[in-house]
Structure 1
Amino acid sequence: MSFINKISSIHLDILKEIGNIGAGHAATALSTLLNKKIDMKVPNVRIVSFDEMMELAGGPENIVASVFLRIDGEAPGSMFFVLSLEQASHFINQMTGEENIDFTSPPYPEIAISALQELGNILSGSYLSSLSDFTRLHLYPSVPALSIDMVGAVISFGLLELSQVSDYAIVIDTALNEDDAQFGSVKGHFFLLPDPNSFEIIFSALGVPVNE
């Protein structure tokens, strides 16, 4: 109950800096993939409750495109990247050069699923390596799992393998901008859910323990 009160602006500033470095790595990888300039920023980082996390993604019944991976190693946890269906469709059209990809109704073309999985791989891998570099903790991602489903179902499925559900999530807001007048900003959310003991491990590794 008092955990949230121990998180200071310093903790959040450090997480935002890590997020921005991860976004920089991801932007470089996406720019190479798309052969055009991509800019990524992290406008906000928050720590929220489990219920607030689902509301941020549009509520438990909102259908989204999500990439989930499990983090193993010294600070285990779970990570989700969540995009609205409209934004996922728009970005994957750009990645593949196809103009008629639409995630709002199945069946989804194989090329669209592959591209969305690759996007999730690039983004989650960039954030995780940034966190690992900063903390010097050994963190290992599982193979990302892609799903298009209701937020509540996506997140509940991702957390099934946890013996106890995390009470809090680190939310890394992400804005992707393509250097193209016809392309708007794509906004997604990263939800990083450290296992209960991992919050302290991460912040201690960053030199700002939460127990002081």
Structure 2
Amino acid sequence: MAENFEDYIKNLDEFAKSALVETFNIGASHAATALSQMTGKEVNISVPNLRIMAIKNVPEVVGEDVKVAVYIELGKDFSSHAFFIADYDDALKMFDIMIGNPPGTTKEMDEMVKSSFMEMGNILISAFANALSEFLGITIEQSPPNLAIDFLPAILDVALADIGKYCDYTIILETKITISGVEFEEHFLLFPKPEDMKKILEKLMGGLA
């Protein structure tokens, strides 16, 4: 039975949320540095906002069209599925910019594009997971990355098949990525198990009864 965090979430003030946003921005900065070194391009990544919301409402925020997603299972002291999700066309444009082509040159997701995007997503998710582990003072281990290309509901089924029976809420990070001056707005999603969502909420609220 999924635990209801609605009252906890409603009580989170902007100051509490800003602490978590700042934590993920530290991770974003580390990811940007790693991607800059990997590609030789100027990369900036920021998290302007986050939401903690019911999973059923995710498509309204992220969109239901075709996405490219990198997903990693997190474990040890924090169990969750983590997704970096980009619009299909944006993923192609990011690849073009990173290899020096004009955006729009690449028209389809071949193996080289998939490999490049999966590495990018792996770097981003790992940086966010490391920042979260420091914030919570715990150890978070990561599985190898996987890639999915599909409509958003089908992609999310991967997580929901495993944790949907006892998890109703997700953390959505609005993720702004700028590569060589071209800006993209994508999303990072975290699906913690209830006891691990509670760890985050307890940290933000200074301890829950």
Asked whether the two chains share a fold, i.e. TM above 0.5, the reply is yes
Aligned position for 1:186: 184
- Name the amino acid aligned to 2:132: L
CA shift for structure 1 position 163: 6.3
Aligned position for 1:148: 149
- Distance in 2 between residues matched to 1:10 and 1:74, nearest whole Å: 26
Higher mean displacement: 31-40 or 18-27: 31-40
Q: Describe the SS at the equivalent of 1:25.
A: helix
Q: Describe the SS at the equivalent of 2:162.
A: coil
Q: Describe the SS at the equivalent of 1:44.
A: strand
- Distance in 2 between residues matched to 1:68 and 1:154, nearest whole Å: 9
Cα 1:163–1:38 shift into 2, 3 Å: closer
- Name the amino acid aligned to 2:170: A
- Name the amino acid aligned to 1:4: I
- Distance in 2 between residues matched to 1:27 and 1:158, nearest whole Å: 26
Aligned position for 2:48: 43
Residues 49-81 of structure 1 show CA distances to partners (whole Å, capped at 9, x for unaligned) of 11221221213xx11011111111112111111
- Name the amino acid aligned to 2:195: N
Partner of residue 94 from structure 1, selected from 92, 97, 106 = 97
Alignment pair present for 1:71 and 2:69: no
- Distance in 1 between residues matched to 2:145 and 2:203, nearest whole Å: 25
- Distance in 2 between residues matched to 1:48 and 1:135, nearest whole Å: 20
Cα 1:57–1:163 shift into 2, 3 Å: closer
Conserved? CA contact 1:95–1:115, under 8 Å: no
CA shift for structure 1 position 8: 2.8
- Name the amino acid aligned to 1:63: V
Task: Tell me the TM-score normalised to structure 1 length.
Answer: 0.87
Aligned alpha-carbon RMSD (Å): 1.9
Aligned position for 2:163: 162
Aligned position for 1:119: 120
- Distance in 2 between residues matched to 1:179 and 1:92, nearest whole Å: 12
CA shift for structure 1 position 132: 0.9
Aligned position for 2:3: none
Partner of residue 87 from structure 2, selected from 73, 81, 84 = 84
- Name the amino acid aligned to 1:120: G
- Name the amino acid aligned to 2:140: L
Task: Tell me the TM-score normalised to structure 2 length.
Answer: 0.88
1:43-62 equivalences in 2 (<5 Å): 43-59=48-64, 62=65
> For structure 1, which runs of at least 5 residues remain unmatched after alignment?
none
Aligned position for 1:135: 136
Cα 1:65–1:157 shift into 2, 3 Å: same
Aligned position for 2:206: 208
- Distance in 2 between residues matched to 1:208 and 1:168, nearest whole Å: 20
CA shift for structure 1 position 206: 5.9
- Distance in 2 between residues matched to 1:130 and 1:47, nearest whole Å: 18
Q: How high is the sequence identity, in percent, across the aligned residues?
A: 28
Cα 1:13–1:138 shift into 2, 3 Å: same
Conserved? CA contact 1:78–1:159, under 8 Å: no
CA shift for structure 1 position 162: 2.3
Alignment pair present for 1:33 and 2:31: no
> For structure 2, which runs of at least 5 residues remain unmatched after alignment?
1-5
